[in-house]
């Protein structure tokens, strides 16, 4: 892993075909914020998909932009 100069992005130096990713993260407590303003981030895979990292705890029906979803493609299977 290395930081891509001038972007702040952390990227791998190797190219991978099939991967299994385990990700742990901590989001800031922002009780007054709503929607995308709640600790919004993501993990990009193969330069085209973003796995959304967002504080969407308590949402009844998660959407394509909620935590664990493939952003704007597929909602997470559950909101845990």
In a domain, 11, yes or no: no
In a domain, 14, yes or no: no
In a domain, 78, yes or no: yes
In a domain, 2, yes or no: no
Q: What is the pLDDT of residue 7?
A: 79
Q: How far is CA 39 from CA 59, 67, 74, in A?
A: 15, 10, 20
In a domain, 66, yes or no: yes
Work out the angle at residue 57's Cα, subtended by the Cα atoms of residues 51 and 62, and round it to the nearest 5 degrees: 60
Count CB-CB contacts under 10 A for residue 75: 16
In a domain, 61, yes or no: yes
Range of the structural domain that residue 37 is part of: 19-80
- Quote the number of domains for the chain: 1
- pTM of the prediction? 0.76
* 49-53 and 2-3 strand pairing: unpaired
In a domain, 69, yes or no: yes
Tens of pLDDT, residue by residue, the chain (80 residues):
777 778 778 888 888 888 888 889 898 888 888 878 888 889 988 888 999 998 888 788 889 999 999 999 999 988 87
Task: Give the C-alpha separation, 50 to 5, whole Å.
Answer: 20
């Amino acid at each position: 892993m290395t930081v891509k100069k001038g972007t702040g992005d952390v990227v791998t130096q190797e190219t991978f075909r099939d991967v299994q990713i385990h990700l742990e993260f901590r989001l800031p407590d922002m009780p007054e914020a709503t929607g995308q303003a709640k600790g919004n981030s993501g993990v990009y895979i193969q330069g085209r998909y973003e796995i959304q990292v967002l504080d969407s705890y308590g949402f009844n029906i998660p959407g394509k932009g909620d935590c664990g979803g493939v952003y704007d493609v597929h909602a997470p299977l559950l909101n845990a």
